[in-house]
Amino acid sequence: MRLFVGLDLPAAVVSNLEELLDRLRPTAAINWSPPENLHITTKFIGEWPEDRLEELKTALAAIPPRAEIPVHIRKIGFFPNPHSPRVFWCGIEAPGLEALAAATDQATSALGVPAETRAFSPHLTLARIKERLNLQPLREAIAATPSLEFGSFTAAGFFLYRSQPSRTGSVYTKLAEFPFSHT
């Protein structure tokens, strides 16, 4: 089973991002993320044996308690850069999220999941760009976007997700929830 750990988005934020995607989607033939799949990944686990699922859940549940994390969704951009983009993203500002990602990385590394080698860069993947295209219409639509503020929320925990491929893209299923305070 293919797994990752992340934060869920509240309906109001998803609605704001869905409006953005509806406005931008006609400007570029790229692989747009369905709004229901938008999430903030804190750790990509990859393939994990189903018979070790409880072991993984136990390790994630043992991550030390922490304060709720204020999350602000704002700004958009391209990875690795605007001239040779592979990912179109929405930015995340969330004090404390990097520490959660590091704790998650440490907990999963102890189980044999490869540790992260790149710096944590929180974002929402709005689209993947597989080939070189003229993205000028997309850039113009971004420039005409009235606001690059898409909402805020307070994260009270994180989730373990399963990613299953389907004909229309991946389907994400929450397998477990881990509240920040263990009360």
Domain boundaries, the chain: 2-179
Quick one: fold of 2-179? Answer: Cyclic Phosphodiesterase; Chain: A, (3.90.1140)
Q: Which of 113, 118, 105, 97 is nearest to 7 (CA)?
A: 97
Pairing of strands 157-166, 149-155: unpaired
Per-residue pLDDT of the chain (183 residues; tens, 9 = 90+): 999 999 999 999 999 999 999 999 999 999 999 998 999 999 999 999 999 999 999 999 999 999 999 999 999 999 988 888 999 999 999 999 999 999 999 999 999 999 999 999 999 999 999 888 888 999 999 999 999 999 999 999 999 999 998 877 788 999 999 999 865
Q: How far apart are the first and last CA of the chain?
A: 30
Contacts of 180 (CB under 8 A, 6+ apart): 65, 66, 67, 68, 69, 155, 156, 157, 158
pTM of the model: 0.90
Output the CA–CA distances (angstroms, integers) from residue 69 to 28, 34, 65, 132, 175, in the order listed: 34, 25, 12, 37, 21
Residue 56 carries which DSSP code? H
Q: For residues 102 and 116, what is the distance between their CA atoms, to the nearest angstrom?
A: 9
Q: Annotated active-site positions, please?
A: 39, 123
